[in-house]
Amino acid sequence: MTLTQDLVRLIRTKPVDEPDLRAAALYFLDAAANAVAGRKSTPGRVLSDWAKGAGVDAGREALYLGGLIHTLETDDLHRASVVHPGCVVVPAVLALARKTGAGGRAALIATLQGFEACCRVGMAVGPAHYKIWHNTATCGPFGSAMAAACLLGLDDEQSMHALGNAGTQAAGLWQFLETGAMSKHLHAGRAAEAGVVAAELARFGFTGAPAILEGEKGFFAGACPDPDTGAVSRGAGARWQLHETSIKPWPSCRHTHPVIDAALDIHAQLQGREIETITIDTYQAAVDVCDRPAPQSEYEAKFSLYHTAAVALTDGEVTFNSFDAEARERLSALRSRVSARAAEPFISNYPKSWGARIQVVCKDGSSVSAERLNCKGDPEMMLDAEEMKAKARVLLAFGGMDAVASTQLIDGILTMAEDGPMPELFVTE
């Protein structure tokens, strides 16, 4: 039996209870709200213009929605796999649920299964993979394919073929970070589309490689120097990986969030003292991805440990406006007094824990420090249902939705857990 077959069987035999469905509805809400808000970003406008003339089928609809969800850097993140599951799984569910007439409960079960697949594959790729490859792009197709297989009613063999062909489409490189190109949003969209197309083809008998993960010329051999293949099926009886997924409270790269959380704590303690120096200790991946002392664009600022620390320490909040040209100019002097390095215990704790420590030395000689092993939005410090709804309202308002429509959409998504109908969500306008 191949790893893909093991994964399908594990997921298909995993029980679903009412708390699982309610949790899935909240994650579904977060992704949908991010899609609405994402239309107001520059990449989102480009995607919307493209979608209007592209002739949107289920696969292309998933691409469009996946790209939108990932544009504002406020979508979910599964730490152990370094995958953003919502932006690849929920688009597949949205695209196919309407096509198949699936109800809310079926859509949420598909969401749980999709999260499980891409997170388990992501936990198996090993840390070296992430240095070159964007895990959401490479592992995401397994999640969208598993969700699509659920909604299309594929049997285990067909699902294996769907995952096989999803895996052969795995791609997505970090090179875009050098110029701040829009590729990251394409990564999410294509991962969502790849799984939908792979599952639709499997329904018609189109075969995929059974050993796409562990084969001699498979995914692990081609892109993973240090895979942990046992992670695909390890802990089969654990709760659904959706419950282990973090929700972002702030619109920036998830690697910056422990820094933000600690800096907000320090902000409350400074009481007007002027800052001399700021030292950040964190884990190596955060330094690798977010070592940007002088960001030149909004997107680079969202991927800067230096800028996010300066924003949180100075303003006591991090919002959509915290990364624009005015904010970057206003905080440039303070950013120049920030240093960032990888240090213990954060290096060893990663990726199970994404942490950071900040030490601020003030001009009067005093110092203040704060440390986070985990931060707000992680499973250990999870946003509750009311906080999740409040976040959704902010995103929906940013996307131009009025209060009445926002309430209707939020209520409609949350009643999916009671097998309410799938709510209407825009495709193109």
Instruction: Tell me whether residue 426 is in a domain.
Output: no
Q: How many domains does the chain have?
A: 2
Instruction: Tell me whether residue 429 is in a domain.
Output: no
**pLDDT > 80? residue 53:** no
The answer on 38 and 136 residing in a single domain is yes
The answer on 168 and 193 residing in a single domain is yes
| Cβ-contact 112, 24 below 8 angstroms | yes
| Mean pLDDT computed over 121-128 | 97
Instruction: Tell me whether residue 196 is in a domain.
Output: yes
The answer on 171 and 121 residing in a single domain is yes
The answer on 307 and 169 residing in a single domain is no
The answer on 170 and 263 residing in a single domain is no
The answer on 132 and 65 residing in a single domain is yes
Instruction: Tell me whether residue 389 is in a domain.
Output: yes
The answer on 266 and 244 residing in a single domain is no
351-390 confidence digits (pLDDT tens)? 889 999 999 999 999 999 999 999 899 999 999 999 999 9
The reported pTM is: 0.93
| Cβ-contact 183, 171 below 8 angstroms | no
The answer on 388 and 348 residing in a single domain is no
| Cβ-contact 165, 202 below 8 angstroms | yes
Q: Please give the residue range of the domain that contains residue 139.
A: 3-249+381-418
3-state helix, strand, coil in the chain (%, to 5): 60, 10, 35
Element of type H or E holding 361: strand 356-362
The answer on 166 and 73 residing in a single domain is yes
* Separation CA 103–CA 112 (nearest Å): 15
**pLDDT > 90? residue 177:** no
The answer on 262 and 216 residing in a single domain is no
Instruction: Tell me whether residue 427 is in a domain.
Output: no
327-349 confidence digits (pLDDT tens)? 999 999 999 999 999 999 999 99
* Separation CA 381–CA 422 (nearest Å): 29
Q: The domain spanning residue 400 has which CATH number?
A: 1.10.4100.10
The answer on 32 and 171 residing in a single domain is yes
Please count the helices (runs of H) and the strands (runs of E) in the chain: 20, 6
Backbone φ, ψ for residue 278 (5° rounding): -135, 125
pLDDT band with cut points at 50, 70 and 90 for residue 54: low
